[in-house]
């Protein structure tokens, strides 16, 4: 699975990228939305894991821009603010929301669920 990680916290995103790479995922990461968009123009991703709050952008805005580049991309949102319930209203079959700090095993499970064929998610 090829994954794009986007979070403005450099240490967090590099550590998460390393941990997921050790588990066999192909990971690219960015700390700015503009860099994430450039990566999406050059590479094909199954999934993007996006921080909800970043300077100059938020995860939902970035999702909309990424969907214009790669229409089949799935999304997981991470937030350090609020709770998962705060975001459920905006969720769709192609996305889910997790609260930081996220358990790596929970994230991997959600990543695997997210890329299942659209009819198989329930």
Residues comprising the chain, all counted: 122
DSSP secondary structure code for residue 108 in this structure? H
C-alpha distance from residue 89 to each of 4, 29, 37, 65, 84 (Å) = 24, 27, 25, 20, 10
2-120 is classed CATH 3.40.50.2300: yes
Tell me the whole-structure pTM to 2 decimals: 0.87
Kindly list the domain boundaries of the chain, sorted by start residue: 2-120
pLDDT band at 43 (very low <50, low <70, confident <90, very high): very high
pLDDT in the model for residue 118:
65
Q: What is the pLDDT of residues 52-95, one digit of tens each?
A: 988 888 889 999 999 999 999 999 999 886 555 544 444 445 46
Mean pLDDT of the chain: 87
Give the C-alpha separation, 79 to 50, whole Å: 9
């Amino acid at each position: 699975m090829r994954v794009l990680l986007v979070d403005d916290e450099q240490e967090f995103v590099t550590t998460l990228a390393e941990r997921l790479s050790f588990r066999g995922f192909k990971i690219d990461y960015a700390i700015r939305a503009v860099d994430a968009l450039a990566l999406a123009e050059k590479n094909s991703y199954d999934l993007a894991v996006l921080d909800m709050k970043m300077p100059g952008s938020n995860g939902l805005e970035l999702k909309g821009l990424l969907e214009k580049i790669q229409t089949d991309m799935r999304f997981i949102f991470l937030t350090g603010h609020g709770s998962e319930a705060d975001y459920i209203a905006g969720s769709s079959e192609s996305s889910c929301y997790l609260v930081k700090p996220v358990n790596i095993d929970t994230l991997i499970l959600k990543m695997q669920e997210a890329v299942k064929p659209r009819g198989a998610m329930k």
